[in-house]
A and B are shown apart, each in its own frame.
Chain A
Amino acid sequence: MLRLILSRLLSLALTLVAVSLAIFLILEVLPGDPAAIMLGTAAREDTLAALRHELGLDQPALVRYFHWIGGLLHGDLGQSITYKMPVSTLVTERMAVTFPLSLMAILISTTLALPLGVTAAARRDGPVDRAVLAFSSLGVAVPNFWIGILFILFFATWLGWFPAGGFPGWSGSFWVALKALVLPAVALALPQAAVLTRVTRSATLEVIGADFVRTARAKGVDKGATLRRHVVPNALIPVTTILGLQLSFFFGGAILVENVFNLPGLGRLAYQALNQRDLVVIKDIVLIFSGLVIVINFLVDIGYAILDPRLRSRA
C-alpha cells in the first residue's frame, strides 16, 4: 500500500511539472496582448510599451516561466494584472464560493443517486425503476445552466424564495450565504446525479447477476443483507470512478452555473481573466484546476485500493 502511494505521488509531481509547462506554452501562443486590452484602441505605442514594461511582459519567455515557477515554490502566485492584488487572495476569496458550492452539489448528487440507483436495480423493471430511469434520462439530457435559468425564473422571480443570483459573502449570516448557494448547487448536482444514478443502477445490476450473489442467496442470506454486504460494496468500484471524474467536473464545470447565478467563484474568475488576458491569473487557476484533478485522481486510485483488496497487491 505504501509503495502504491509513493509511486502515485511521484507521477503526480511529474504530471504537475508537465502541466505547468503546457499551460505556459499555450498562453505564449494564445493571441492577445494584456497591455493592448487594458489600454484600449486609442492608446499610443509609447503608452503600450510603458505598460508592457510595468507588467514585465518585455522579458524573455524563459525568464518569465522560471519567475512564475520560482514564485509558486515560495507560495507566491504573483499579482493579478487587472485587479492589482495578489492572486492568492483572489483565489482564496473565490474558493470560499466554489468549494462549498461543489461540496453541496456532490452531497446532493450522491445522496440522490446512490439510493435511487440501488433501489432501481433491486426492483428491476418495476414502477420505481421506470420512474428512476425516466428521471435520469431527463437529467442527462438537460444542461445545468438551463436548469439554473428555470430555477431562477420559478424559485426566485416567481416565488421569491431564493435570491436570483449573487453571493452575500460568509462574513454576514451563515444561513443567508448558504441559501444563495442552494439553487446553484441543485442545478449543478441534478445532471450529475442523473449520470451517477444510471451508473449505480447498471453496476448494481451487473453484480446482482454474478455467481457469488447467487451462492450467497442459495446459502440462505436474505435479499437485503445480500444487497448490503455483497452487492453494494462490489458495485461501488465503477461508481467511484465516475464520482472521481465528477468531482473534477464540479470544480471546473461550475463556470456556467456560476455565470448564470452570478456567483463570484473560481470558474467566473477564470472566465473573466481569460477575457481580459490576465495571464497571471489564468496560469495560476488552470494550474490549480489541473492540480485538483490530478489530486482527485490520486485519491480515487487510493480509493480503489481500499475498496478492492486485489488492487493493493497488484501495485
Chain B
Amino acid sequence: MSKRFLAAALIISASFSPALAAKTSLVIGMPIEPPGLDPTVAAPVAIREVTWANLYEGLVRIDQDGKVQPLLAKRWDISPDGLTYTFHLQSGVKFHDGSTFDSADVKFAFDRARAPTSTNAQKQIFAPIASVETPDPATVVIRLKETSGNFLYYLGWGDAVIVAPETAENNKASPVGTGPFKFKSWTRGDRVELVRNPDYWQTDKTKLETVTFRFINDPQAQVAALKAGDLDAFPNLSAPELFSELKKDARFTAVAGNTEGEIVAGMNNAKKPFDDARVRRALMHAVDRKALVEGAYSGYGQPIGSFFSPNHPAFVDMTAVIPYDPEKAKALLAEAGYGNGLSITIKAPQMAYASRSAELLAAMFAEVGVDLKIIPTEFPAKWIEEVFKNKDYDVTIVAHTEPLDIDIFARDNYYFNYKNDKFKALIAEAGKTTGENARFAKYAEAQKILAEDVPALFLFQLPKLGVWNAKLKGLWENSPVPANDVTDVSWTD
C-alpha cells in the first residue's frame, strides 16, 4: 500500500516538474566583497572580478589567452612612428542608462583618468597620452608623447573602461557601463545582482538572464555553499586543502589554473646582508619550491624562477636558473662571510599562503644555517605602512597580483630597494618597443636578469582554483586579468 502510494507521489511530482529548459541564472561565489563597483577609481581585484567585461567595457579587451581583442573599438590604426592611435568605434552602443556611447565618452573617460585630481590606481597607463581628440563621434585619435608597446594591452584593463560623464560620479554605488549585463542591486555584505542588458550591442551574445555574485570569506563556508547547491560556481576558491575533494565530486568541474599573482618573498636589497647577491642566491638555493607549494597550497601552484606570469605569451620558465641545492646555499653563505650562521626576520601577512610559506621557508633556511624569525603583520593596512612605505623589514612575502608588473623591480623607491640600471634600462626599452616579438625578447631577457640576481625569492604562481557545476561552460580557467567574465557562460542543458 505504502509503496504504491510512494510510486503515485513520484509520478505526480515528476509530471509537475518544469520543462527541461536550460537554466539562465548563475550564482558565483567570491571570497572578498568589492569596495565599490568602479574599477577606474580603486585598485582591489574584487572590483574587476564583478564588473570587468560584465558591466563595463573598454576600447579593447583581454581574452582568456591574455591577448588584446577589439571591443568598443572595432579596429584601430597605428601611425608608423607609433605615436598616433586612431580608434574606429562600434556603432549602436548604448550605456545602461540609455544614453549613446560615442567618442566624447572616450575622451571624457581618459581625460578624467589622467587629470590632476584623478584617483585612478593605474594612472601611469595614461601617462604617455599627449592628447585625446574626437574628429567625429565614431573616431578617437590618441597622440602619445612617446611610443608605448603595451599601450593597447593596458587599455584592456579595468582601469581603462569607458564611463559616461553623466554617471561616472555615481559608478561606485550604481555602476553604468556598456556591458552585456546591467547592475540590478547590491545587498552590502552579501551579494551583487546583475541582469541581462536587452539593448546590448552584440545582440544574442549572452545566454544568461541573471548573474549573482555572493561574497563568502570563510573557506569552509565556500565549500559548504557549493555542496549545498547555493552557488553554481566559485572561480577562485580559498580552500586548497579541500580542492582535491571537490575534484573527485562528479557534480563539479574543478580546474587549477593560474592567476596573475606571483608569490615572492621580497628582500630589502639596500640592507645588509641582502645587498650581497651571494646571500640572495644562497637563500634561493635553500628553497625547495615543490615542497613549498605542497605545504603552502596543497600542491596547486606552478613554481616560478622569475617574475612573470605563465599566462603571458612572453613567459619563460626560469626555475632551473637557481634550483634547490642546500649544499650550494651553504657554500655561497660561507663565501659571503656567513658560514657561521645568519639571523634574519620575515614579516608575514595573515593570508594562509603567506603565513604557511613563511613557516616552510623558516624550516628550509634552518637546513642551511639561517635562522628566520617570523613576525606576523596585517595585510593590507599594516603591511603597506611598515613594509611598503617605510621599508622597515628584512624579508616579507606577498602575491603581486597585477598583470605584467615586472617593472616593479625597475621602480625607484619601491619596497625591494632594488637598483639595477641595466634592468631598468631594459624595462624602459621594452615598454617603448612596439614590435611584439622584439618586446617579448626584451621581457625574456629581463626575466633572466631577475632569475640570476634574485632581488626577491621567486616562489610560485598563485593558482586559480576554479570550481563550478559540471553543466556550466564558458568560465575562465586562468585569469590573465582579474575577471569573472560571464559573457560566454551558459548551461549545457
Contacts and interface: CB of A to CB of B under 8 A. Distances in A.
Contacts of B386: 31
B221 A164 contact: yes
Nearest to B45: A40
Contact of B117 (A40, A50, A84, A269): A50
A54 B381 CA distance: 19
A93 B214 CA distance: 17
A259 interface: yes
Interface string B168-199: 00001100000000000001111100000000
Contacts of B118: 47, 50
Q: Which of B44, B118, B221 has the most CB of A within 10 A?
A: B221
B91 interface: no
B218 A259 contact: yes
Contacts of A7: none
A166 B214 contact: yes
B221 A32 contact: no
A269 B35 contact: no
A156 B94 CA distance: 43
Contact of A39 (B119, B173, B385, B402): B119
A38 B43 contact: yes
Contact of A94 (B43, B121, B189): B189
A149 interface: yes
A43 interface: yes
A272 interface: yes
A276 B187 CA distance: 18
B41 to A, nearest CB: 8
Interface string A250-274: 0000000001111111001100100
Interface stretch (B225-233, B297-305, B419-427): B225-233
Given A82-B36, A85-B173, A51 B221 contact: no
Contacts of A277: 381
Nearest to B171: A84
Q: Which of A40, A149, A153, A259 has the most CB of B within 10 A?
A: A40
Contacts of B228: 156-157, 160, 163-164
A37 B216 contact: no
Contact of A32 (B123, B214, B218, B384): B384
Interface in A143-168: 149, 152-153, 156-157, 160, 163-167
Contacts of B116: 46, 50
Q: Which of A43, A93, A165, A265 has the most CB of B within 10 A?
A: A165
B234 to A, nearest CB: 12
Contacts of A264: 187-190
A33 interface: yes
B297 to A, nearest CB: 22
A314 interface: no
A265 B189 contact: yes
A101 interface: no
Given A83-B188, A93-B188, A269-B189, A275 B218 contact: no
B187 A262 contact: no
Interface string B368-397: 000000000000111011101100000000
B487 interface: no
Contact of B221 (A43, A94, A262): A262
A33 B385 contact: yes
Contacts of B122: 42
A156 B223 CA distance: 12
B405 A51 contact: no
A157 B44 contact: no
Interface of B is mostly: loop
Contacts of A152: 220-221, 224
B180 to A, nearest CB: 25
B120 interface: yes
B100 interface: no
Nearest to A160: B228
A41 B187 contact: no
Contacts of B49: none
A268 to B, nearest CB: 6
A112 interface: no
Interface string B148-186: 000000000000000000000000110000000000000
Interface residues of B, number: 46
A169 interface: yes
A36 interface: yes
A44 interface: yes
A157 B227 contact: yes
A31 to B, nearest CB: 4
B119 A165 contact: no
A32 B405 contact: no
A40 B41 CA distance: 11
A36 B215 CA distance: 23
A100 to B, nearest CB: 15
B42 A149 contact: no
Contacts of A265: 189
Q: Which of B189, B382, B408 has the most CB of A within 10 A?
A: B189
Given A36-B389, A46-B116, A50-B118, A82 B230 contact: no
A282 to B, nearest CB: 11
A90 interface: yes
Interface string A277-290: 11000000000000
6 contacts: A40-B402, A41-B388, A41-B408, A42-B121, A47-B118, A259-B221
Interface of A: 30-33, 36-44, 46-47, 50-51, 54, 82-85, 90, 93-94, 149, 152-153, 156-157, 160, 163-167, 169, 259-265, 268-269, 272, 275-278
Instruction: Rank and list the top 4 A-B pairs by shortest CB-CB distance, nearest first.
Output: A264-B189, A40-B43, A32-B381, A82-B35
Given A32-B381, A42-B405, A46-B123, 17 more contacts: A32-B382, A33-B385, A39-B42, A39-B121, A44-B124, A82-B35, A94-B189, A164-B224, A164-B227, A165-B221, A166-B214, A166-B225, A262-B216, A262-B218, A264-B188, A275-B380, A276-B35
